[in-house]
Amino acid sequence: MEATDIGLLIAIIGLLILSAMFSLCEISYSAANKVRLKTLEQSGKKRATRMLKFLDNYDKVITTILIGNTIVTVASASLATLLAVSIFTEHDNLAASIASVILTIVLLVFCEITPKMLAKEKPESIGMAVYPFLWFFTIIFWPFSALFALWKKLIKKIFRIKANAAITDEELLTYVEEAEAEGGIDKHESNLIRSAIEFEDVDVADVMVPRVEVIAVEIGDTLEEIEQKFKDNAFSRMPVYNETIDNVIGILHERDFSHLTEDGKTLTEILQKNIWVPASMKISTVLRMFQKQKVHMAVVVDEHGGTSGIVTLEDILEELVGEIWDEHDEEEILTRRVNDDTFIVNGSENLDDLLETLGVDVADDEFDSNTVGGFVTELAEKIPLKGEKFNYKNLEITVINADVKRVLELKVKVLATTTDEE
């Protein structure tokens, strides 16, 4: 091999190394996690700060990488052909084919697959390591990057492309699911984050205690009757109404009531201020109202001004952290499994929770009811009687207990679908 051939070989190897470096840059900067980089930045990593600045101008970075990779690939192919022709002087056509095959294999294995596979595993670490290399070529290729930036603006105007960098709630939920699947967070953390994301979309009607279940005090009740209600229900506060529950005049706190006779005040004088909220209000707004006005309970009103129910601070917090039980609470089981495909369900059970438990997809359906009992009433278009049966998708629903006003208990059987049988 002559000195010229050795020079060509060294040049080809150098170009292949550059190609591998550009591949490392491409994947490490496209797969880098900004949150991790910001964490590294806070710990004092200067290259993390520089890498974040590069990512803020990602179009310039990717243009530099593509230009560099294209140049070194074309140049290495040309030099490889010259080297092959110089070695196989008597077979020019065969030499070119041999050079193409060998170079393609080398490029795929050592300049594309291997570096990109490595960069995918640790994009932040490798991205910071190759930062000086990439910074150098962004300076070298600056005129080309500026030219392509103008070309990009022209394309956007021609095709009227509008950038949308906002992350939707659905995308956030997908990130959370991926983080849980990869072991980055556990199930409890995943549920907490998911609840926080969905918190802004929950209405008061979804969490309130309905009117029929509200335990309240009538202003004319005797002190003994009120004391008994506190003892029987273990509540720290109850609404007080005058004549009808639609006319709530305040909130009675057990602590204030216990000192009523000592302070020499009347029941009306110790009532705390009441606030009213519509059932359609978001619980995040109600939470801010509670914090601002320093209250723990609100009366929920319907469109006609009547009382629909009450909502407490605990009801709202449970949407974030799940059910909160204290030492006096008795856990209420609303859905009980009888066998593999049959469940006994309380009419107060949340409809979405039950359908999710049973694996029923309701993406195409909308219901006005939040409870299973209300859902069955919607299906029947009346208050169903004990023993009536209904079918919804692959569910067979039987009313096993009801009164004249609502459905109290049901039996739900999951029927086998065609897909399940197959």
Tens of pLDDT, residues 94-110: 777 888 888 999 999 99
pLDDT of 259 over the 90 cut: no
Is residue 208 exposed (0-12), middle (13-18) or buried (19+ Cβ within 10 Å)? buried
pLDDT of 365 over the 90 cut: no
Tens of pLDDT, residues 143-194: 888 888 888 788 878 887 776 656 777 777 787 888 888 777 888 788 888 8
pLDDT at position 287, please? 93
pLDDT of 422 over the 50 cut: no
pLDDT at position 269, please? 87
Q: Are strands 297-301 and 276-278 parallel, antiparallel or unpaired?
A: parallel
Q: Is 335 helix (H, G, I), strand (E, B) or coil?
A: strand
Q: Taking the model in full, what pTM does it have? A: 0.57
For residue 410, the surrounding DSSP H or E stretch is strand 407-414
pLDDT at position 421, please? 45
List beta partners, residue 412. Answer: 343, 397
CA distances from 44 to 31, 219, 301 (A): 22, 64, 54
Alpha helices in 32-91 (DSSP H): 34-42, 46-56, 58-87
pLDDT at position 128, please? 94
pLDDT of 327 over the 80 cut: no
Q: How many helices (H) does the chain have, and how many strands (E)?
A: 20, 12
pLDDT at position 252, please? 93
Q: Are strands 217-218 and 237-242 parallel, antiparallel or unpaired?
A: parallel
Q: Which of 191-195, 210-214, 301-305, 418-422 has the lowest mean pLDDT?
A: 418-422
pLDDT tier at 328 (50, 70, 90 boundaries)? low
